[in-house]
Amino acid sequence: MDKVIIFDTTLRDGEQAAGASLNAQEKLEIARQLDRLGVDVIEAGFPASSPGDFEAVRLISQEVRRPTICGLSSADRGAVDRTWEAVKEAAHPRIHIFLSASDIHLSYQLKKSRDEILKTSREMVAQAKNYLDDIEFSPMDATRAEPAYIYQILEAVIDAGATTVNIPDTVGYTTPHEFGDLIQSILTNVPNIHKAVLSVHCHNDLGLAVANSLEAIQRGARQVECTINGIGERAGNASLEEIVMALKTRQDSFGLTTGINTTQIYKTSRLVSELFGFPVQPNKAVIGANAFRHQSGIHQDGVLKKPVTYEIMDPKSIGIPSSILVLSKLSGRHAFRERLAELGYTLTEEALNRAFQSFKELADKKKEITDRDIESLIAEELRTITEVYHLDHVEVSCGDHSLPTATVRLVNPEGQSLADAALGTGPVDAVYKAINRIVGIPNKLIEFTVKSVTEGIDAIGEVLVRIESDGVTYTGRGASTDIIVASAKAYMNALNRLLAAKQSQRPSPKSFNFR
Ligand code: KIV
Ligand code: ZN
């Protein structure tokens, strides 16, 4: 097999990144873009972990028809059944069951014997087999488990019907050579391995996730699990764009292909960064802002003469725009819709109307509207879809010799208008205090960042806040040409996510349900 299956887990492992919390609509937007990107499998979530995740996986299963839609499940009968409910309407459903396999996890966390784990693994795969054919199994923490025990588990689950077996380096502990040896030894020591696809899932704790994944591919793995921009639990996962571009650029060395349309990489990266609220570091390989910028005179000279002198990839092959397209207040609805489609957004007619209205309002204040402005507007639109409280009005009075005072009006879920006012150390503090007086949910502000989306005095200001409640972090973002309004929107966005999580009684993303 000379094709590597690209399994994207941005919406599942990526969503386990601290501070990540997407609503179902945002997840659907990303899933649609992953479809355009050409990924083979989308791991859309962990349906049994919360009603919100269940609904998002179900929605994606109904709407995104080309790729396989996978739901993660703990090795528990109830979880397997619930995962099936979430993915059953997909054109190509998959259930991915995981259970720890290392002695460290077995003795300290699960307090179970190897035999018990082996039996449960087999039984849960057999349980899923009652529903569907496409089943993946992961022995968690495989790289710290005894290889002979991993061979035993893999043989048993393949026998029970697993069609993909995935080897997770759960804590990012392994090294390329060691991991490659493990993959090769699995191919030799598991007698029925030819009946399943061998997959890998690497974490980046030592910065080796991509290197480990590529080594595993060299040694025979044919599915790789990865995320856009490398987001994920702790230090993240193997980055999809780096793996795909390594396979493409070094085709001479790997001799393998993927189904990825690489010209969609840049758009996908921007969309994920925008909706997750995680900026991409400038020196990030492939998609960082500096990845194709040449600073030294010698390099600039070379690139002007012949790009190949200092560029091993063509930025166009990643979809990096060569010029910034600008819209203005004269641009019509059609041009706006076209640009949205090019940026990877598909909006319902109603959402498009609202976004176009916001675009026109912005165009009245700002001469040129760039892609970054449009991304910001749409992200704002998607954020408002699942609001619990809506920010209706915000007004501040502040200055050199006055006490910063804010008045805010919110609309609650019952449609009532609630207003309050507060003093603060500054205008943003006053606004947040006034909001807290109305919403009344304890939380601690742990991060507040303002940045301008583009250059110029008329630029949109984007505010990112992180708040903490009961040990869980919630991120909120808001955008406006007025940074006080943007700050209020960002805080409301974080509070709405907190309220939604409390309503769905969502456990901490890290508290998997082991049984
Ligand atoms: O890192 C890990 O072990 C996982 C499993 C659920 C596959 O994410
Ligand atoms: Zn993981």
Three-class secondary structure assignment of 325-359: CCECCCCCHHHHHHHHHHHCCCCCHHHHHHHHHHH
Separation of 45 CA from ligand 2 center, angstroms? 12
Tokens of 282: 């400038």
Residue whose Cα lies nearest atom 8 of ligand 1: it is 13
Q: Look-up: residue for tokens 């990144």?
A: 17
Task: State in Å: Cα 166 to ligand 1 middle.
Answer: 9
Q: What is the pLDDT of residue 1?
A: 65
The H-assigned helical ranges of 366-415 are: 371-384
Nearest-atom number in ligand 1 for the CA of 171 is 1
Pocket of ligand 1 (CB under 6 A): 13, 72, 98, 138, 140, 168, 170, 201, 203
pLDDT at 500: 82
pLDDT of residue 63: 98
pLDDT for 383: 75
> How far is the centre of ligand 2, averaged over its atoms, from the C-alpha of 100 (Å)?
12
Residue 313, phi then psi, degrees to nearest 5: -130, 150
Nearest-atom number in ligand 1 for the CA of 166 is 7
Cα 431 to middle of ligand 2, angstroms: 39
Instruction: Provide the 3-class DSSP secondary structure of residue 16.
Output: helix
Residue to probe by mutation, ligand 1, list 46, 105, 140, most atoms within 8 Å of CB: 140
Q: What is the pTM of this model?
A: 0.85
**Is residue 477 within 8 Å of residue 383, measured between CB atoms?**
yes
Kindly report the protein residue whose alpha carbon is nearest to atom 3 of ligand 1.
170
Report how far residue 374's alpha carbon sits from residue 377's, in angstroms, rounded to the nearest whole number.
Answer: 5
**Residue nearest atom 1 of ligand 1, based on CA coordinates:** 170
What are the two backbone dihedrals, phi and then psi, of residue 136, each rounded to the nearest 5 degrees? -115, 145
**Averaged in consecutive runs of 10 residues, what is the pLDDT profile of the chain (515 residues)?**
94 92 90 97 96 95 98 98 98 98 97 98 98 98 98 98 98 98 98 98 98 98 98 97 98 97 95 90 93 84 88 93 74 86 82 89 85 84 81 94 94 94 96 97 94 80 92 87 95 91 57 34
CB 405 within 8 A of CB 398: yes
The CA distance from 338 to 495, in Å, is 33
| Ordered strands of the 390-397 beta sheet | 390-397, 405-411, 417-423
User: What is the pLDDT at residue 514?
Assistant: 32
From the list 98, 168, 84, the residue with the least C-alpha distance to 127 is 84
pLDDT at residue 322, rounded to an integer = 67
The rounded Å distance from CA 232 to ligand 2 centre is 7
Tell me what pLDDT residue 510 has: 36
421 residue type, one letter: A
